[in-house]
Amino acid sequence: MSDLDTQKIQLIMDLRREGISDLAILNAIERVPREMFVPETFREHAYDNRALPIASGQTISQPFVVAYMTAALELTDRHKVLEIGTGSGYQAAVLAKLCRRVYTVERHLDLLIQAEQRFKQLDLHTIVIRHGDGAAGWVEQAPFDRIMVTAAAPEIPSGLAGQLADGGIMVVPVGPDGGDQRIIRLRRLGDRFETTKMLPVRFVPLVSDPVLPRPVLE
Ligand code: SAH
């Protein structure tokens, strides 16, 4: 067994100890090679239970947080899921193992192109990508059964909540950049939203400047 395989088993045991009990989620994490989503220089740390830097000043989330937010979505294989903040593509890949289709939006084109290549290499054909401002969601594909935001919003993004199907769940880190942030879970019940405060976290900010349109590739 390679060092990375040993470290992966260690990570799965750590996640169980930290309270992640859903076997489908642990299994999904075991099946997604995180080393393919981190920069080459961090390869040997791919299974450390911590966030790591990726290009464009962004981060790939800590495996525990990936597992925790995934569990909070209560996914089934029938769900259509929207993710905001593709980043490395790791979270989208984990989601893709557990649901029907993942729509993921990223504002940094370089990150998105790299993520797209990883999805192709891993035969993850149920992930659909989009370059743009995810704060606006994905109107043409709404409603979504589940929404996961992987960048911290200053407050609950109401535009995104409006793209949830009835009975749908959204998880989103809410709080100031670099300050006290919490994962908030919203459940849509008709016109009402039930909110629950969950884990304290530290995410990069959800940036809502206009982004340049995707250039035409020659
Ligand atoms: N889910 C990612 C972690 C991403 S870090 C992973 O598994 O690797 C947060 C990401 O959100 C960054 O890549 C950042 O560029 C992106 N982001 C921030 N604001 C955004 C916005 N308004 N729309 C789309 N993506 C955004």
Cα(1) to ligand 1 centroid in Å equals 34
- The alpha-helical segments, DSSP class H, found in the chain are 3-17, 23-31, 63-72, 90-96, 109-121, 158-161
In short, whether 70's Cβ falls inside 6 Å of ligand 1 is no
pLDDT for 52 beyond 90: yes
- Mean pLDDT taken over the chain: 95
Distance between start and end Cα atoms, the chain: 43
pLDDT for 2 beyond 90: no
- If 0-12 CB within 10 Å is exposed, 13-18 middle and 19+ buried, where does residue 212 land? exposed
Do residues 26 and 15 make contact, with C-beta atoms less than 8 angstroms apart? yes
Q: What is the pLDDT of residue 208?
A: 86
Split at pLDDT 50, 70, 90, the class of 217 is: low
In short, whether 64's Cβ falls inside 6 Å of ligand 1 is no
Cα(84) to ligand 1 centroid in Å equals 6
CATH superfamily of 51-201: Vaccinia Virus protein VP39 (3.40.50.150)
Report CA torsion sign: 176, 162, 132, 203: positive
Do residues 25 and 98 make contact, with C-beta atoms less than 8 angstroms apart? yes
Percentage of the chain with pLDDT > 90?
Answer: 94
**Structural domain boundaries in the chain:** 51-201
44-51 — which CB contacts under 8 Å span 24+ positions? 44/3, 44/4, 46/4, 46/7, 47/4, 47/7, 47/8, 47/10, 47/11, 48/7, 48/11, 49/11, 49/14, 49/15
Q: What is the pLDDT of residue 112?
A: 98
What is the SS3 assignment for 142? Answer: coil
In short, whether 134's Cβ falls inside 6 Å of ligand 1 is yes
Split at pLDDT 50, 70, 90, the class of 211 is: low
Cα(204) to ligand 1 centroid in Å equals 8
- To test the ligand 1 pocket, which listed residue (58, 171, 202) has its Cβ within 8 A of the most ligand atoms? 58
In short, whether 87's Cβ falls inside 6 Å of ligand 1 is yes
User: Which amino acids are annotated catalytic?
Assistant: 61
- If 0-12 CB within 10 Å is exposed, 13-18 middle and 19+ buried, where does residue 192 land? exposed
**Mind listing the pLDDT tens digit for each residue in 69-121?**
999 999 999 999 999 999 999 999 999 999 999 999 999 999 999 999 999 99
Cα(62) to ligand 1 centroid in Å equals 14
Q: What is the pLDDT of residue 213?
A: 58
pLDDT for 215 beyond 60: no
Q: How far apart are CA 142 and CA 124, in angstroms?
A: 21
Q: What is the pLDDT of residue 198?
A: 98
Split at pLDDT 50, 70, 90, the class of 181 is: very high
Which pairing describes strands 80-84 and 144-149: parallel, antiparallel, or unpaired? parallel
- To test the ligand 1 pocket, which listed residue (150, 202, 203) has its Cβ within 8 A of the most ligand atoms? 150
Report the interhelical angle of 63-72 vs 3-17 (nearest 10°).
50
